[in-house]
Amino acid sequence: MYQYNDFDQAFVRERVAEFRDQVERRIAGSLTEAEFLPLRLRNGLYLQLHAYMFRIAIPYGTLNSRKMRQLAMIADRWDKGYGHFTTRQNIQFNWPKLRDVPDILDALADVEMHANQTSGNCIRNVTADHFAGAAADEIEDPRATAELLRQWSTDHPEFLYLPRKFKIGITGAPNDRAATKTHDIGLRMVRSSDGLPGYEVSVGGGLGRTPIIGKVVREYLPKADLIPYLEAILQVYNLAGRRDNKFKARLKILVNETGLDEIRQQIEARFAEKRAEWPPINPGLLAEIEAAFTPPVFEPAAPVAPVLSAGLRSFIDTNVAEHKQPHYAIVTVSLKPIGGTPGDATSHQMRVLADIAEELGHDDLRISHEQNVVFPHVPRRHLPEIYDRLKAAGLATANIGLVSDIIACPGMDYCSLATARSIPVAQEIAETFADIDRQRDIGPLKIKISGCINACGHHHVGHIGILGLDRAGVENYQITLGGDATETAVVGDKTGPGFAYDEVVPAVERLIGAYLDMRTEPGETFLETFRRVGMGPFKAALYEEVRSDAA
């Protein structure tokens, strides 16, 4: 885990003091509400439906027990006893008061955390693979790069007033678990022909109302060139990105309107200049960052008792992934209990997670962009105990990657921009497919739900995507099929006319029924079947009932 040095520590403290001063200047009238807006957004403070919403960064999704316990303390002391983990490895609190926020920021600084640039038109919290450092398929732990980028982008004087928000995602493995192609800049670690690690760089990805999969602008970028190359991309964007229309201001629109080849030329030209004048990154600083991500000291292999309990077996089958050490495992804890709000955790659950990590998992915790919590380093012999402790806290739902492991944005329940409910739709789908054997028979299936076209629920890249709209005052849900957020990223296709609120869950049931009928064997996943047979048969199944009703 990266530990704050004196510089980091002084920086976050000064940042809190500065924000206190900004709040006071706002109250005194020196700053207008409009001028205060970007300042509070850069400190994670949004105005939501009911109140302020406060978003805290969990850089590259990594935290330890001490940080998790502090989040629990914040939930109890300043909020309603729970927090919401988001699709960008942040945690949000929905009920803080403006005057408390500087105190919350101080409490965060106590445990080396902050809310810097979790919102606003600046470079946001850099996200990374939640299995980083543990996955068997990894080239390098991407978090060293992510931490370097955190430092580079924090308070970057040139890039705090960009045309629009700017997101960077990074994965250290060929299997893209960080959805990097849906980011303004996506970095995927690859090796050069002579085996040196570097990055494949994509630009212009993003969901929202114009979903676009990032395009590769550089097949291979040596590690040492990363910062000047990103400086070049950001400078081109800051100068040329559209500022006349908020909905056309993201990098993806600039890339599309300019053309990939032209934008590549502009970036490369700027990069050539930048590279010539950028001094190398301080090697001492790089070494300090790299050292922070050396793997823990793994315990020696030990015999593991056979698993007898059916509940534990089912949990292991769905929620446990291969670790690079064969006698270790990666455990994903689902924050999607049947009927719950996806991504929510109570302060009690946070403390249980912190205790387990500290006692049984090398004190390492991760937040995934799928809104779940991960213990990346667990000796297999501890699995039964972990399962029991999770179960007692209502955290043992065995549904990772299955139909009820749904990503849903806050929607109408919390969000002022929402045009429809999303959490209740997720809850009803989960309840419909509550039977875990049925879920496992259906197999890997990603359902993603957004409550408006801003697409915070990433519905475009769901195998089944659901978008809640408002049609003349009535909720109407549009369905897309075949989306994918991994290294084979693609935006899903619309099926056709949308469905009323009470028709959505039956529609999803018909789609899943059609898949079960059409799959060649149980091992063929929903996405594979869709790719094989195409939209036609799914569309037929989806609208069949509607048509026969009309007939």
Partner 1 sequence: MSVIVTEAGFAADSWTHEFLPFDVFWSGQDLPEEGLAVEFPNDREPADLLPWLDRVELIRVAFPAYTDGRGFSIGRRLRELGYTGRLRAVGPLIADQFRMARRVGFDELEIPDTMAARQPEAQWKLREQGSYLRRLTA
Say whether residue 196 binds partner 1 (CB under 8 A).
no
Number of residues that bind partner 1 (CB under 8 A): 43
Say whether residue 258 binds partner 1 (CB under 8 A).
no
- What residue has token string 């990103």? 230
CB of residue 278 vs partner 1: minimum separation in angstroms? 7
Given the DSSP bridges, would you call strands 328-333 and 320-322 parallel, antiparallel or unpaired? Answer: antiparallel
CB of residue 207 vs ligand SF4: minimum separation in angstroms? 9
Helix pair 226-240, 260-277: axis angle to 10 deg: 130
Q: Which does 500 bind (CB under 5 to 8 A by kind): partner 1, ligand SF4, none?
A: none
Say whether residue 33 binds partner 1 (CB under 8 A).
no
Q: Which does 502 bind (CB under 5 to 8 A by kind): partner 1, ligand SF4, none?
A: none
| Residues 97-126: b if buried by 16+ CB within 10 A, e if exposed | eeebbbbbbebbbebbbbbbbbbbbbbbbb
Q: How far apart are CA 63 and CA 453, in angstroms?
A: 31
Selected binder of partner 1 within 95, 278, 298, 501 (CB under 8 A): 278
What does the per-residue mask of binding to partner 1 show for 283-302, with x meaning CB under 8 A? --x-----------------
Site for partner 1 in 91-130 (CB under 8 A): 121
Cα–Cα distances in angstroms (integers) from residue 442 to residues 148, 262, 323, 436, 527, in the given order: 41, 45, 25, 10, 11
Q: Give CA torsion, residues 429, 435, 441, 445, to 10 deg.
A: 30
The per-residue DSSP string of 513-535 comes to HHHHHH-SSTTS-HHHHHHHH-H
- Name the site residues for ligand SF4 (rule: CB under 6 A): 409-411, 415, 417-418, 450-452, 454-457
Helix (H, G, I), strand (E, B) or coil at 222: strand
Q: Which does 227 bind (CB under 5 to 8 A by kind): ligand SF4, partner 1, none?
A: partner 1
Q: Which does 157 bind (CB under 5 to 8 A by kind): partner 1, ligand SF4, none?
A: partner 1
Q: Which does 278 bind (CB under 5 to 8 A by kind): ligand SF4, partner 1, none?
A: partner 1
Cα–Cα distances in angstroms (integers) from residue 334 to residues 130, 391, 548, in the given order: 14, 11, 39
CB of residue 9 vs partner 1: minimum separation in angstroms? 10
The per-residue DSSP string of 481-521 comes to E--B-STT-BPPEE-SS-EEHHHHHHHHHHHHHHHHHH-SS
- What residue has token string 């192609």? 181
Smaller CB separation from ligand SF4, 471 or 532: 471
Selected binder of partner 1 within 25, 66, 324, 539 (CB under 8 A): 25
Selected binder of partner 1 within 4, 20, 38, 288 (CB under 8 A): 38
Torsion sign across C-alpha atoms 117, 171, 88, 487: positive
Say whether residue 307 binds partner 1 (CB under 8 A).
no
Given the DSSP bridges, would you call strands 185-191 and 168-171 parallel, antiparallel or unpaired? Answer: parallel
Smaller CB separation from ligand SF4, 109 or 407: 407
CB of residue 454 vs ligand SF4: minimum separation in angstroms? 4
Smaller CB separation from ligand SF4, 173 or 423: 423
Task: Tell me the one-letter amino acid at 314.
Answer: S
**Positions that interact with partner 1 (CB under 8 A):** 7, 10-11, 14-15, 17-18, 21-22, 25, 29-31, 35, 38-39, 121, 148, 151-152, 154-162, 227, 235, 238-239, 243, 273-274, 277-282, 285
